Structure 1
């Protein structure tokens, strides 16, 4: 059961106490925009006295500082039609405060027992908020500009690196054709293929428009296609295929994996099929699960001969592969039965449950 306030004076006292308690500046206006009441915070913030405020037209307060066109639109047009308005933003240069951005909330109070109406007008100073927002916008614009500049520089760097690698590969091939020593020619061609493998990932990074992560399957497919086109001859056709999921990996790790695949595929092409073999094939498989991944290169060639895997033990390629596997924090297993399979995997150790 609600209790009414005994007298009108008590009601006015309570109303004024409520107004003074509000932290934000608040004005109470009549239908003609004359000030009927003001909160204590209004006097403090706008540095005016009650005698300069009470009973005066809002637009005349503070030598006309509230005679703002946007405020007139709010009070004279919007409020009569909608009786309420929240978040009406006004920017004005107040003599005592300087340039300020105010958020206005207005309510028209209509009484059941009186034809008169009252307007409640509350102010929130959001100047500091708007300054911070503009600073954030400026910072974001500058950050985007710097990122764009960085991207342009990275693309230019990638382009130059790719061109340099292509030049080095061409020089190595020219030297390989010019020398008379078969051993030197062999090593120069090996170096040529290794440079091409690095150039391939640079080319893929440039095409993908980024340097953070690339899709391994697409990269390995392009890499193996390039290796097959340059190394598989008509006298021994080899079906070289790549099977991979859509896993993404950092470009630095992609370079290492690409070099490993290059070494193993070159090794298989050179040594797996010493005599013409029907249905010769090399299969490259990559599977990933977040940070875990596994890579295998399999051929259905001669496999191990005695205790030795042709081309895989003791050569420079082996040293390179082993070093790259260690760099990737992975492990390698070689199986030379029924062909040659080299499996490389990186599996994280499962986290132990502390509560167990």
Structure 2
């Protein structure tokens, strides 16, 4: 570019450039007087071009631009060759009302260094700030609602757990008062089913979970509960739980817990007739991404006269079949004189134990 021949020529060029810009722009001299302004500046801030030209920026617009922090920054632009980036302020403009303005300023000079000027760009960001404030307000409100929801869920889980405990206690009391041994056993079984659901609720309350729970911790707690309530000292049956790290949704955990309850109760009742050396029940849970396998095995006498899981019409078996279908899982079993193993597996799960073998 050719050099400016005079200060007047530089100012004329600055005026021509500024006048065509579609946003509010100002060209100030080194004393911060208005040399030129875009038409947009005059239109937006409703200033008179004749009254504004040649006057200090801090004098025009009834002193709206005379802000101590802004004055200090602009006065350093030319002598120190610095820039002002994103200076933001609120001002109550006479014709516009309260607006939020963002201002940038950069030094400019001609090649001969005979004329030094400041280019000022102005942006009205009022609407943007209002939108951001509204988003922030909505976010805070959403967080408050979420916290309220968590509180309600905690309270609901606590009440459900208490209600289940009451129901289980009633069933157990009723079992102790009836004469029929068959009815007594059915009531005890119903008690354990309720307790398996209560264990989920109790576990959720302890870990502050909402949607997912730790399967290993839950099954371990459930196994301990079944051992303490279903196994008499004479039976001396040991229940061991081994589970991979992982979580399941609350609904899946409830279904899984009911299945474990049914299978463990069946093993306690039927797997160890008479004296059986070192009777034990083992519950394992293996995971592989979204797939999993639950195994309940014992070292008892096998199924023998007990009907197959698939063909039995008992309440427990029907419940296991329905729950497995709900979980989109398959049931399989292996029975021998060395015991019974029942597997509930989802989809394409391949046991790590089988691979090792």
Is the pair's TM-score, using the shorter chain for normalization, greater than 0.5? Answer: yes
2:343 corresponds in structure 1 to 343
Change (3 A) 1:303 1:79: farther
Q: Distance in 1 between matches of 2:219 and 2:13?
A: 79
Change (3 A) 1:179 1:197: same
1:174-253 alignment, distance < 5 Å: 174-253=173-252
Does 2:288 correspond to 1:285? Answer: no
Q: Distance in 2 between matches of 1:143 and 1:56?
A: 50
2:275 corresponds in structure 1 to 276
CA-to-aligned-CA distance 1:80-104 (integer Å, 9 cap, x gap): 6571121111111111211111111
Q: Distance in 2 between matches of 1:15 and 1:28?
A: 7
Q: Distance in 2 between matches of 1:47 and 1:334?
A: 86
Q: Distance in 2 between matches of 1:255 and 1:310?
A: 20
Between stretches 266-275 and 72-81, larger displacement belongs to 72-81
Between stretches 169-178 and 81-90, larger displacement belongs to 81-90
CA apart distance, 1:164: 0.6
CA apart distance, 1:115: 6.5
CA apart distance, 1:154: 0.9
CA apart distance, 1:106: 1.5
Gaps of 5+ in 1: 350-356
1:128-147 alignment, distance < 5 Å: 128-147=127-146
2:84 corresponds in structure 1 to 85
CA-to-aligned-CA distance 1:221-241 (integer Å, 9 cap, x gap): 111111112222222222311
Q: Secondary structure at the match of 1:233?
A: coil
1:353 corresponds in structure 2 to none
Q: Distance in 2 between matches of 1:312 and 1:164?
A: 34
1:296 corresponds in structure 2 to 295
Q: Is the 8 Å Cα contact of residues 24 and 124 (structure 1) preserved in structure 2?
A: yes
Between stretches 114-123 and 131-140, larger displacement belongs to 114-123
Q: Is the 8 Å Cα contact of residues 271 and 310 (structure 1) preserved in structure 2?
A: no
Q: Distance in 1 between matches of 2:139 and 2:4?
A: 59
Q: Distance in 2 between matches of 1:6 and 1:103?
A: 31
1:54 corresponds in structure 2 to 53
2:14 corresponds in structure 1 to 15
Q: Distance in 2 between matches of 1:50 and 1:310?
A: 93
Q: Distance in 2 between matches of 1:175 and 1:80?
A: 95
Q: RMSD of the alignment, in Å?
A: 2.4
1:12-51 alignment, distance < 5 Å: 12-51=11-50
Q: Distance in 2 between matches of 1:189 and 1:205?
A: 24
Q: Is the 8 Å Cα contact of residues 297 and 342 (structure 2) preserved in structure 1?
A: yes
Q: Is the 8 Å Cα contact of residues 3 and 112 (structure 2) preserved in structure 1?
A: no
Q: Secondary structure at the match of 1:279?
A: coil
Q: Distance in 1 between matches of 2:306 and 2:62?
A: 102
Change (3 A) 1:310 1:235: farther
Q: Is the 8 Å Cα contact of residues 92 and 99 (structure 2) preserved in structure 1?
A: yes
Q: Secondary structure at the match of 1:342?
A: strand
1:69-148 alignment, distance < 5 Å: 69-76=68-75, 83-109=82-108, 113-114=112-113, 117-148=116-147
Q: Secondary structure at the match of 2:300?
A: coil
Change (3 A) 1:175 1:80: farther
CA-to-aligned-CA distance 1:16-48 (integer Å, 9 cap, x gap): 333234333111112222111112221121122
Q: Distance in 1 between matches of 2:293 and 2:334?
A: 15
Gaps of 5+ in 2: 350-357
Q: Distance in 1 between matches of 2:4 and 2:91?
A: 43
CA apart distance, 1:302: 0.8
Q: Distance in 2 between matches of 1:282 and 1:107?
A: 80
1:4 corresponds in structure 2 to 2
Q: Is the 8 Å Cα contact of residues 239 and 280 (structure 2) preserved in structure 1?
A: yes
CA apart distance, 1:278: 2.1
CA-to-aligned-CA distance 1:224-270 (integer Å, 9 cap, x gap): 11111222222222231122112221111111111011111111111
Q: Distance in 2 between matches of 1:151 and 1:85?
A: 47
CA-to-aligned-CA distance 1:101-121 (integer Å, 9 cap, x gap): 111111234666446632222
